[in-house]
Chains A and B, each alone.
Chain A
Amino acid sequence: MMRSPPGSRQLLPGFRLSLGCAVLYLSLLVLLPLSGLVFKASQLSLAAFWEIASGERALASYRVTFGASLLAASINTAFGLIVAWVLVRYSFPGKRVIDALVDLPFALPTAVAGITLATLYAGNGWIGRHLEPLGFKIAFAPPGIVVALTFIGLPFVVRTLQPVIEDIEPEVEEAAASLGASRLQTFVRVLWPALLPALLTGFTLAFSRSIGEYGSVIFIAGNMPLISEITPLLIISKLEQYDVVGATALAVVMLFISFIMLFVVNGLQWWAATRHGARAADGGRR
């Protein structure tokens, strides 16, 4: 890793120093601690690991976590496409402020988001007050988890799509139109294929962020075991009962899923890059 390929003459200084520092920092802070987790779990027998990882409460928590994340990422994909389109293509007063506000979920601490959403959607909150008489209970029930995760994942799809929509050349749409395509045909045949990789990347980023989310969810979820308990919370409650082994086993499951998601995101960005040139992929990074 430290060797540079033969034949390239290096003028610039600091290669060994910078790479050495970066690799050391990353190893000490990230790689070694994470392997410590896997090592701790490997002291469990496979049967014991499996029993914890597939216990009733664990399975229910996966269902809640994945179900809510999937739903929230889907909501964000649908509305994110509309928001990105509106922000790039239409002009309206206050557009720049609204555009900047899209990043709020990245900037607002998750605990603040959690208590605020719980207050808004509670039976006496600004929104819950109007929904509860209609029979919709959001806060302190599973739908609350979806609301929190939708907030947390909101910027991903919008920010991945915006640069891609900006890059679509008007000539392409004009060509489709002059060949007699209707607006709907142009969208389905021309625009949709161009947007699809970014849309999937944004969906996956939002989904993978949602799976690990803790701070915003616990305040609004109600946290009932088997019903509205997410996996990160189950890890915490095992820790609070001094069941370190149980917490470690579940954490390894979560870590494994993180690796898969990282792999999928990389694959999607590579796909986007090969389809639409490096710019689309770069834009898709955040």
Chain B
Amino acid sequence: MSASVGRRATTEPPWLRYLLLAVGLGFLFFFLLLPLLAVFAEAFAAGWRAYLAALQDRDARSAIALTLLVALLVLPLNIGFGVAAAWAIAKFEFRGKSLLITLIDLPFAVSPVVVGLVFLLIFGAQGLFGPWLAANDIKVVFALPAIVLVTMFITLPFVARELIPLMQAQGKEEEEAAISLGASGWQMFRRVTLPNIRWGLLYGVILANARAMGEFGAVSVVSGHIRGETNTLPLHVEILYNEYNAVGAFASASVLALLALVTLVAKTVVEWRMRREMRMLASDLAAENSGR
């Protein structure tokens, strides 16, 4: 009798469990699964051939190429910044550290449209450097450089935010050991730090890549929407949609949705690896402690 009372009070009664399950999963069905299915249903609404034709369109192909190029240019810089910021923040003490951490989060809080406008104000025709750039015939706005710049801004926090807590948790004993055994800074980084942070780094890169390829608002402000030249894939989707070319828009959208699904799978696999490594680390520590 008392056991059943205890049991009843630490879990919900069956009717409530089923109700919560139905409400929670119903919500996810309508807001996640249905939109995901709808992308592909709309893309294939006119059959396989129309779908493939839409993707083989010259503008679609150049949009895909530009999207890949932007991600390829942005990610290395993003990785460099993330590793440098995390190294300084996680391994050293200095004044203004929490301010720096907050500032790294700033790009997440700023509206993409504002980000685009900011770079327009600096490099645009009426902007700060506008006249100088025009005089020297350098194109920044409505060209690749501005698209890369806003994407760098938007994706800035991803790698750093993954690495900071990870490197803080790992402490600095291993690196200190490497240095006192005579390793150079680069050797220490390559042999000790990099293997320790690789999964966290990959995780941050996966998230940054998804955002870099999918960014719409900021890129839309600075790209100028020049077909075949400065249209990224999300902008291409918008143009076709506004032209009532639903099959074309959703065909390109389905490529981006596929990218999102690949991102989710990769992210889940990496999360699983990270959790396993954390468990191994914990059991190593436990073994060390009991052996003492």
A10 at the interface (CB under 8 A from B): yes
In the complex, what residue of chain B is closest to A40 when comparing beta carbons?
B121
The answer to whether A107 touches B38, judged by C-beta atoms less than 8 angstroms apart, is no
Label chain B's interface by main secondary structure.
Answer: helix
CB distance from B156 to the nearest CB of A (A): 7
For chain A, residues 232 to 261, give those with C-beta under 8 angstroms from any C-beta of chain B. 232-233, 235-236, 239, 244, 247-248, 251, 254-255, 258-259, 261
A21 partner, pick from B84, B119, B175, B233, beta carbons under 8 A: B84
Contact of A13 among B80, B179, B210 (CB under 8 A): B179
Q: Does B31 contact A (CB under 8 A)?
A: yes
Q: Interface readout for B1-34 with A: 1 if CB under 8 Å, 0 if not?
A: 0000110111111000100110111011011111
Interface hits, A87-111 → B, CB 8 Å: 87, 89-90, 92, 96, 98, 100-111
- For B25, give its contact among A86, A154, A181, A259 (CB under 8 Å): A86
In the complex, which residues of chain A have a beta carbon less than 8 angstroms from the beta carbon of B11?
89, 183
Residues of B within 8 A of A (CB-CB), count: 107
Judged by a CB distance under 8 angstroms, whether B64 is at the interface is no
What 0/1 pattern do residues 194 to 208 of A give for CB contact below 8 A with B?
000000000000001
Query: Which residue of the partner chain, among B81, B92, B260, contacts A104 with CB atoms under 8 Å?
Result: B260
Least CB distance, B236 to chain A, in whole angstroms: 9
A-B Cβ contacts below 8 A, count:
308
A13 to B88, CA, bound (A): 10
Q: Are A109 and B92 in contact (CB under 8 A)?
A: no
- Interface size class, chain A: 35 or more
Interface pair A262/B105, CB less than 8 Å apart? yes
A127 pairs with B30, CB closer than 8 A = yes
Given the complex of chains A and B, what is the CA–CA distance between A40 and B87 in angstroms? Answer: 35
B128 at the interface (CB under 8 A from A): yes
Given A90, A115, A125, which contacts B241 in the complex, CB threshold below 8 Å? A115
Select which of A12, A86, A105 is within 8 A of B21 by beta carbon. A86
Q: CB < 8 Å: which of A29, A104, A212, A258 contacts B32?
A: A104
Contact yes or no, B257 A112, CB < 8 A: yes
A79 to B29, CA, bound (A): 12
Q: Known A4-B92, A29-B152, A79-B23; judge A174-B238 contact (CB<8 A).
A: no
Chain A contacts of B109 at CB under 8 A? 208, 212, 258-259, 261-262, 265
> B55-114: which residues lie under 8 A (CB-CB) from chain A?
77, 80-81, 83-85, 87-88, 91-96, 100, 102-114
Please determine whether B24 and A4 come into contact, CB atoms closer than 8 angstroms. no
Which residues on the B side are within 8 Å of A176 (C-beta)? 9
In the assembly, what is the distance between CA of A92 and CA of B39, in Å? 27
Contact call A174/B93, Cβ cutoff below 8 A: no
Shortest CB-to-CB span from A38 to chain B, Å, is 10
Q: Are B9 and A22 in contact (CB under 8 A)?
A: no
Can you list 15 A-B contacts with CB-CB less than 8 angstroms, sorted by A residue number? A3-B95, A5-B95, A19-B94, A37-B118, A104-B264, A107-B263, A111-B256, A116-B250, A174-B6, A212-B113, A213-B217, A233-B113, A235-B113, A244-B121, A259-B109
Seed contacts A12-B179, A213-B217, A254-B114; 12 additional CB < 8 Å A-B pairs: A1-B96, A8-B93, A13-B188, A26-B100, A29-B152, A90-B17, A111-B214, A112-B260, A154-B31, A177-B8, A183-B8, A183-B13
